[in-house]
């Protein structure tokens, strides 16, 4: 029997802003239900790669495939339908500031799933309860802490029951306890619903605790220089990857 | 040893001498603090220039009293000069803290970034500006196209946005602007009447002040001034709100939820502003005429009733309609400009300020341009 089709596949991707190349020749596959880590030093283009994978930035070259279907070759309407399969937790949570937490979560349900206001509200309450925010439905994003905003962002990202959840630096700006709690939540999500998770991070505890597979992007060479299980990458042939994962010096 | 170079100043003293091996010895003494000023490395540079390449540079600090970043900064610059001449630097006699800070600052060599040589020629600069303008025009047309498509979806009842957002925009672009629109138009009506009265009195045609104010306000100035006020008020607000949403990735979040930002954010604002502008202009017309009436009655020997009768007889419906039609166009222009600069905002706090400024400037310019186009068209149509 052959290998099952990858859930997500990045094929020879080159990312550029105008004539400035950010990263080139990125290629990797993500299996269904896997937690995949995109890591690398600051400014290497990790978040930019995520933006290319979720349809926000068009690649200069290459393609992103979901279950073998190309994202960028598709027309705009098809690409919009792709979005129903994805959930994204942005670095700053990106909650809509003029809406309450409940409205933030129920909006995609009402607009994309065509649920009535009552149904959308019930599902939104469930999602908020899943991330430990029951009772905060009527709060505005400005009224809660950074950690709670991240969790509310996760509740919104989960609203449409996506097949793939993307996390952009989930631990950024969080204290160790909140960060740990979010990691546990990510793990629980994968275990309970089999969601494929793509994690953009450079937090070593999260990489080792959560990551099934990882890719390392290098800012200087502007390409990926290692790929594999995080524990294996500790013994990578690339000194920079070893140093990064051991938090050592080059 | 050669004679010591003069001290740079009274507080941070610097003496430079050559020893028997030819090395340059820099003796540092006194206070080397930022509060006392940053000493120059010129004397070190001169000494390095006059010595053969590769001459050792030795720092001594026997008489050094207090020091802070002023000393480290001096050492860093001097070490840079020495490196350029291929000279080794001996820092062993420096205080340990200064030595470690210097080592730290030199640990990572400065990265040489490849830079495209910039052509400062006038033709190159003109070309750059033209290319940027061309790209912006293309992008603005894309945005306009997206808005037209969204408007089409709205007319077919398929546009997706929150009704509450439309209500907020209606309130913000309507009721919220009543005060400033009233004040500006009352004053504009008064100024117009005052200028007209002074001139027309000379010809014994004072009563025509009422005509001047009525036609001037309803056909031209009521709409124009309200459009300009709205560009500064509502256009700026749209750019700032949408710009902040862009910086906070809230607009990206809409996209990844499969919601179109143009439908969701731009459409309600364009609808609200183009609906509210005619109402505001009708209100502005009344207040402009009222301002003219105050001045007309106060300056001229006319009663209020007589003035208002003259206003009524001079005012034709077409003047009012022309002003109202223009106001719809101004509303669309103001909202589109504010939303365009907001949605296309960069990703920093400074970018929000820049987007807001551009939205106001471009909004005002476009309102005046659209007004000029209307004037020419109406003239050609004999209206």
CA of residue B251 relative to chain centroid, distance: 21
Please list the residues that pair with B15 across neighbouring strands: B27
Give the distance from residue B104's alpha carbon to the nearest chain A alpha carbon, in angstroms.
Answer: 14
**Which residues, 6+ apart, have CB-to-CB distance to B137 below 8 Å?**
none
| Substitution target from A96, A153, A167 for chain B, most B beta carbons within 10 A | A96
- B275–chain A Cβ distance below 8 A for any pair: no
For the ranges A141-145, B2-6, B173-177, B225-229, the lowest mean pLDDT is seen at: B2-6
Give me the mean pLDDT over the B282-299 stretch.
93
| Window A:141-200, CB contacts with B under 8 Å | 156, 160
Contacts of B79 (CB under 8 A, 6+ apart): B57, B89, B102, B106
Question: Maximum CA pair distance of chain B?
Answer: 107
For B:2-41, CB contacts with A below 8 A are: none
Please state the separation of Cα B287 from the chain's center in Å: 32
Q: Which two tokens stand for residue A189?
A: 């999500």
Lookup result for tokens 């989930």: A170
| Residue A127, both tokens | 């999602």
B258 touches chain A (CB under 8 A): yes
Higher pLDDT, B172 or B8: B172
- pLDDT for B266 equals 96
Of the candidates B370, B372, B276, B292, which has an alpha carbon nearest to the alpha carbon of residue B331?
B276
CB B68 within 8 A of CB B11: no
pLDDT score for B142: 95
Whether A185 has a pLDDT exceeding 70, the answer reads: yes
- Residue A108 in contact with partner chain B when CB distance is under 8 A: yes
Q: Hey, what long-range contacts does A171-177 have (CB within 8 A, 24 or more apart)?
A: A171/A201, A171/A203, A171/A206, A172/A91, A173/A146, A174/A146, A174/A147, A174/A150, A175/A147
Q: Which of B111, B159, B250 to mutate to test the interface with A (most CBs of A within 10 A)?
A: B250
Partner residue opposite A86 with nearest CB, options B165, B254, B256: B256
| Per-residue pLDDT tens over the stretch B9-46 | 456 688 898 888 889 999 998 888 888 887 889 999 99
Least confident of A55-69, A167-181, B7-21: B7-21
Give the pLDDT band of residue A64 (cuts 50, 70, 90): very high
B347 has a chain A CB within 8 A of its CB: no
Q: Which residues of B touch A55 (CB under 8 A)?
A: 255-256
Mean pLDDT calculated for residue range B125-133: 90
Q: Residue B28: which H helix or E strand, with range?
A: strand B24-32
Mean pLDDT, rounded, for B62-66: 88
Label residue A248 by pLDDT band (50, 70, 90): low
| B347 pLDDT tier (thresholds 50, 70, 90) | confident
- pLDDT of B261 reads 93
pLDDT tens, residue by residue, B228-270 = 999 999 999 999 999 999 999 999 999 998 889 999 999 999 9
Binary contact (A56, B256; C-beta < 8 A): yes
d(CA B336, CA B342): 10
Answer whether B28's CB lies under 8 Å from B61's CB: yes
Minimal CA–CA distance to A215: which of A25, A72, A54? A25
Q: Does position A143 have pLDDT exceeding 70, yes or no?
A: yes
Q: Is the pLDDT of residue B3 over 80?
A: no
Residue B370 has pLDDT above 50, yes or no: yes
Rounded to whole angstroms, the Cα distance separating A236 from A230 reads: 10
pLDDT at B117 over 80: no
Q: Is A12 on the interface with B (CB under 8 A)?
A: no
Give the three-state DSSP class for B380: helix
- For tokens 């003239």, the residue is B379
pLDDT tier at B112 (50, 70, 90 boundaries)?
low
Minimal C-alpha gap between B249 and chain A (Å): 5
Beta A223-228 vs A213-218: how paired, if at all?
A: antiparallel
Backbone angles phi, psi at B312, to 5 degrees: -60, -45
- Cα separation of B383 and B372, whole Å? 14
Span A88-111, average pLDDT = 94
In whole angstroms, what is the distance from residue A93 CA to residue B250 CA?
Answer: 9
Higher-pLDDT residue of B132, A247: B132
Output phi, psi for B158, to 5 deg. -115, 5
Q: Rounded distance, CA B127 to CA B249, Å?
A: 33
Burial A6-31 (b: 16+ CB within 10 A, else e): bbbbbeebbbbeeeeebbbebebbbe
For residue A2, is pLDDT > 90?
Answer: no
CB of A47 within 8 Å of any CB in chain B?
A: no
Residue B316: what are its φ and ψ, rounded to 5°?
Answer: -100, 155
Q: What percent of chain A has pLDDT over 90?
A: 74
A228 close to A235: Cβ distance less than 8 angstroms: no
Nearest CA of chain A to the CA of B253: how many Å? 7
Sign of CA dihedral B131, B136, B142, B145: negative
List of chain A residues whose C-beta atoms are within 8 Å of the C-beta of residue B248: 92, 94, 97
Is the pLDDT at B4 greater than 50, yes or no? no
* Cα end-to-end span (Å), chain A: 43
Smallest CA–CA distance from B108 into chain A, residue: A250
DSSP string, B152-164: HHHHTT-----HH
- Say if residues B143 and B344 touch (Cβ distance below 8 Å): yes
Least confident among A164-178, B98-112, B249-263: B98-112
Give the strand pairing for B12-18 and B24-32.
antiparallel
Q: In what order do the strands lie in the sheet with B12-18?
A: B12-18, B24-32, B57-67, B89-90
Contacts B257 to A, Cβ<8 Å = 83, 107-108, 111-112, 160
Mean pLDDT for the stretch of residues B85-111: 87
- State the pLDDT at residue A28: 97
pLDDT for residue B2: 43
The reply to whether residue B252 touches residue A84, judged by beta carbons under 8 angstroms, is no
Report the pLDDT averaged over residues A8-17.
95
Q: What is the band of B6 on the pLDDT scale with cuts at 50, 70, 90?
A: very low
CA–CA separation, A24 and A44 (whole Å): 11
* Cα separation, B172 vs B264, whole angstroms: 17
Q: Do A160 and B255 touch (CB under 8 A)?
A: no
3-class DSSP state for residue B300? coil
pLDDT at B351: 93
Mean pLDDT of chain A: 92
E strands within B68-142? 89-90
- Please give the mean pLDDT across all residues of chain B: 90
């Amino acid at each position: 029997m052959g290998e099952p089709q990858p859930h997500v596949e990045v094929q020879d991707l080159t990312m550029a802003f105008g004539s400035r190349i950010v990263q080139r020749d990125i290629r990797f596959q993500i299996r269904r239900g896997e937690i995949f880590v995109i890591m690398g030093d600051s400014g290497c283009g990790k978040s930019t790669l995520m933006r290319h994978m979720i349809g926000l930035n068009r690649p200069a070259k290459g393609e992103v495939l979901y279950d073998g279907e190309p994202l960028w070759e598709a027309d705009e309407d098809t690409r919009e339908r792709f979005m129903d399969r994805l959930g994204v937790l942005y670095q700053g949570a990106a909650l809509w500031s003029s809406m309450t937490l409940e409205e933030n979560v129920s909006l995609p349900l009402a607009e994309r799933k065509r649920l009535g206001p009552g149904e959308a509200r019930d599902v939104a309450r469930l999602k908020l309860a899943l991330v430990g925010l029951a009772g905060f439905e009527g709060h505005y994003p400005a009224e809660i802490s950074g950690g709670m905003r991240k969790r509310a962002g996760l509740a919104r990202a989960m609203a449409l029951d996506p097949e793939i959840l993307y996390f952009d630096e989930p631990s950024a700006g969080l204290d160790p306890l909140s960060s740990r709690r979010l990691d546990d939540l990510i793990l629980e999500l994968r275990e309970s619903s089999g969601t494929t998770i793509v994690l953009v991070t450079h937090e070593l505890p999260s990489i080792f605790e959560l990551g099934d597979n990882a890719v390392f992007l290098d800012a200087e060479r502007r390409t990926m220089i290692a790929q594999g299980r995080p524990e294996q990458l500790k013994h990578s042939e690339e000194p920079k990857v070893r140093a990064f994962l051991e938090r050592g010096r080059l | 040893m050669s004679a010591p170079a003069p001290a740079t100043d009274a507080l941070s003293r610097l003496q430079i001498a050559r020893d028997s091996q030819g090395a340059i010895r820099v003796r540092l003494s006194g206070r080397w603090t930022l509060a006392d000023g940053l000493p120059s490395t010129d004397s070190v540079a001169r000494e390095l220039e006059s010595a053969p390449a590769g001459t050792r540079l030795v720092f001594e600090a026997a008489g050094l009293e207090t020091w802070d970043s002023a000393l480290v900064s001096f050492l860093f610059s001097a070490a840079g000069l020495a490196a350029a001449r291929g000279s080794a630097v001996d820092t062993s006699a420096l205080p340990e803290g200064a030595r470690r800070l210097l080592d730290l600052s030199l640990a990572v060599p400065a990265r040489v970034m490849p830079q495209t040589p910039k052509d400062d020629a006038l033709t190159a600069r003109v070309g750059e500006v033209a290319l940027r303008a061309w790209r912006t025009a293309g992008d603005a047309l894309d945005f306009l196209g997206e808005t037209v498509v969204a408007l089409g979806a709205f007319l077919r009842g398929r546009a997706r946005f929150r009704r509450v957002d439309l209500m907020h925009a209606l309130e913000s672009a309507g009721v919220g602007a009543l005060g400033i629109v009233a004040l500006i138009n009352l004053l504009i009506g008064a100024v117009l009447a005052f200028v007209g009265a002074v001139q027309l009195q000379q010809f014994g045609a004072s009563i025509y002040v009422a005509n001047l104010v009525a036609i001037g306000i309803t056909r031209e100035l009521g709409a124009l001034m309200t459009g300009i006020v709205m560009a500064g008020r509502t256009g700026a607000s749209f750019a700032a709100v949408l710009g902040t949403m862009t910086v906070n990735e809230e607009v990206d979040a809409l996209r990844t939820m499969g919601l179109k930002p143009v439908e969701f954010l731009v459409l309600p604002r364009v609808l609200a502003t183009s609906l509210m502008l005619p109402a505001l202009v009708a209100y502005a017309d009344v207040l402009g005429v009222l301002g003219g009436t105050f001045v007309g009655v106060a300056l001229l020997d006319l009663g209020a009733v007589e003035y208002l009768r003259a206003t009524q007889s001079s005012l034709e419906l077409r003047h009012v309609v022309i002003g109202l039609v223009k106001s719809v166009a101004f509303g669309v222009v103001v909202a589109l400009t504010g939303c365009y600069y907001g949605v296309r905002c960069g990703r920093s706090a400074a970018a929000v300020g820049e987007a807001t400024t551009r939205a106001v400037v471009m909004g005002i310019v476009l309102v005046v341009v659209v007004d000029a186009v209307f004037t020419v068209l109406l003239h050609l149509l004999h209206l």
